[in-house]
Amino acid sequence: MSISDYRMTLGGDPEILLTSGKSKGSAGHVIYARDVLDESKTGGGNITYDGMIAEINVIPDTCRERLIYNYSDILNNIFTQADSGKFDLLTSPAGKVKKSVLESVPDQDKIFGCDPDVNAYTGKKNKVTISGLKHQKRYGGGHLHFGISSPITKTFYRNNISLIIKLMDYICGNTCVLLDRDPANAVRRKVYGKAGSYRIQPHGIEYRVLSNFWLRGPQLVSIVYKLGRVAINVAADCRIRENEEAMDFVDYIFDKIPEQKVVDAINNNDFNKAAENAEIIIPELISIGGISMEFWTPVQYLIERGIDNILGNMRNEWKNHENGVISWWRRHLSTISDDIEAVILDTYSATVKNCILKDLYKYVSDSLHSALDRPLLPSPKKLCGINIYEVNLPCDIEISPDNIPPIRENTRRER
């Protein structure tokens, strides 16, 4: 019995920090969004304001690919407005506001006005103790919304919210620490986005832990929503289907990884601690069919190389977006091929190199047709205790170096 794939609606209201002029993404000071950005409705959703900063209200969808198109429509509207040169988008989740700018903003837009969210670990509300009237920083959250789809109901969310949000932290939040290494995350989480943060919404739930880093490219949008949906499906299989594999998985990761270790990894944006957690979580999640090797391979590639070294300018990532994330993978194939060739030269003799490369390139080409739900390539390294050299070579050469054991279909331990 594998993990269910209930297709609840996916939505979000990520926040965007604006800076003056061409700030090169991570530099510059935060400016008042209402001064430079027009509220507008697009085919994908709305652009609005949240205090000093801008906010996206995307039209929900059950399909990640269609959701990406909705985000693309909104973001390209913002980029078009930014072409005036009045502002740019800050790619860091925390930015400083000049005192003179803060003083010019009406008081009602200085206030941190959100209703307190709730901490799944304590059951208590997270209270913001600083005053937005004087605090010279603003923060960009990347809140994920999940709706209902039978048997995922409002009652299911309410009755199982602690389990759901903890699984979101273990599966989604912890993985995002590996992807989103901006030290400003730890700064943001002193105010917003602590581990376990959520709200119950009329349409379902809102997971409020992530920063807005996933707006940097469509491939990241697909990854975070996939991981969030998987967490909910695991919870549903535990509480609704009584799926033994799901229940064993939850018992195992909760037993092996204390809650506080996940909380610390997220709140401090501690890459090393998150990697230790993932060494346990990811192989188990793959073994029960929560995610596939095909999904994890490109995620691992992004983690190994670092998104700052892979992603280009945020505008270009979205303006070049066509057919979901497929074009993004295609644009990086030349870099990836170089990595593969270097590994093969180090690992295999020259006599078999050309045969392997030929098949790897075919493997990559054949994989492009369905975006993140197909493999990108075999990774040259291990992460989370899994070797990703899962390739069938048509050539009649058996290659099984001692240092690269073939991956097993099921890595789950007997217990």
Closest by CA position to 143, among listed 187, 205, 235, 226: 205
Decide if pLDDT at 399 tops 50: no
Q: Specify the CATH number for the domain of residue 243.
A: 3.30.590
* 123 occurs within a structural domain: yes
Q: Tell me the CA distances in angstroms from 130 to 12, 16, 191, 208, 345, one per residue in order.
A: 25, 21, 8, 19, 56
Q: What's residue 353's pLDDT? A: 47
Residue 375 or residue 344, greater confidence: 344
Tell me whether residue 4 is in a domain.
no
Mean per-residue pLDDT over the chain, rounded: 81
Could you tell me the residue range of the domain that residue 105 belongs to? 10-317
Reading the block at residue 306, the tokens are 């670092």
User: Which parts of 24-146 are beta strand (E)?
Assistant: 40-42, 45-50, 53-58, 87-90, 94-96, 117-119, 125-126, 137-139, 144-146
pLDDT at 46 over 90: yes
pTM of the model: 0.81
Total domains present in the chain: 1
pLDDT digits (tens, 9 = 90+) for 283-330: 999 999 999 888 888 888 889 889 988 787 888 888 766 544 444 554
Q: Residues 98, 104, 108, 114: what is their CA dihedral angle, to the nearest 10 degrees?
A: -20
Answer whether residue 58 is part of any domain.
yes
Q: Which tokens go with 6? A: 């209930």
pLDDT at 33 > cutoff 90:
yes
Backbone φ and ψ of 403, nearest 5°: -85, 0
pLDDT, mean of residues 88-109: 92
